[in-house]
Amino acid sequence: MIEVAEILAATNAALARNETNIDDQIKATLFDISARDDFLTREAIRNTVANEYIYSMPEDFKDMSIIKLDDREPLKRVTFETLQIYHANTSQIGEPEYYAIKNKYLWLDILPDDVYEMRMWYSIYHPEAIADGILFENEFREAIYEGVIARVCQKFEDWQGTQAHMALYEKHIEVRKQAMEKTLHFQKYNDL
């Protein structure tokens, strides 16, 4: 687990400074990384309520990946506007098949006729509170260090340092993105 104290120590060592509080730079870096891709994901289960088609999402919610009702086929995502047009023309009750996301609310296409278990996979932004811990795994350590160092350089108007560390930050973020996109490749092995 990456600790705030470690980031502070790495920043001070890299810049030969004695900063005591770089929380704003850490928060900005963590938020920026989480905004770049679906690096932080969650899975949650929530039950539908009969005759209710609007559900709030968690505070740090970013985007929905998949929703399944009672472990069936995933619901299909449509635009919020499409769903509103559909709502204006129907009062159907049954098992939802479509959903939309708007303003941190999940909207189902029809009113559920029963209680369904919604299993949701979604991405989040890094929470504001860093005292509770940093959610990123160790693979993000160097990216976090470089992002924070760049922001501290920016705070003190060290534009050369900002540029150098921001370039390293971008490089580390790109490596993490590529690691997420890699698919598993299998090679058949024949024992002769």
Domains of the chain, by residue range, sit at 4-38+125-181, 41-124
Q: What is the pLDDT of residue 51?
A: 86
Per the model's pLDDT, the better-predicted residue between 34 and 183 turns out to be 34
Q: What is the pLDDT of residue 118?
A: 96
d(CA 84, CA 87): 5
**Are 146 and 165 within 8 A, CB to CB?**
yes
pLDDT tens sequence across 133-192: 999 999 999 999 999 999 999 999 999 999 999 999 999 999 999 998 765 444 454 444
Lowest mean pLDDT among 33-37, 89-93, 166-170: 89-93
The number of angstroms, rounded, from the C-alpha of 173 to the middle of its chain's C-alpha atoms is 14
- Stretch 45-54: mean pLDDT, rounded? 92
**Are 34 and 125 within 8 A, CB to CB?**
yes
Q: What is the pLDDT of residue 131?
A: 82
Select from 66, 131, 138 the least CA-distant residue to 101: 66
pLDDT at 10 over 70: yes
Q: What is the pLDDT of residue 184?
A: 47
The set of residues, in sequence order, having a beta carbon less than 8 Å from that of 107 and lying 6+ positions away, is 53, 54, 80, 83, 99, 100, 101
Q: What percent of the chain has pLDDT over 90?
A: 83
Place of tokens 């941190």: 104
Question: Whole-model pTM?
Answer: 0.85
Ordered alpha helix ranges (H), the chain: 4-15, 23-36, 80-88, 141-155, 159-181
d(CA 133, CA 82): 40
Q: What is the pLDDT of residue 183?
A: 54
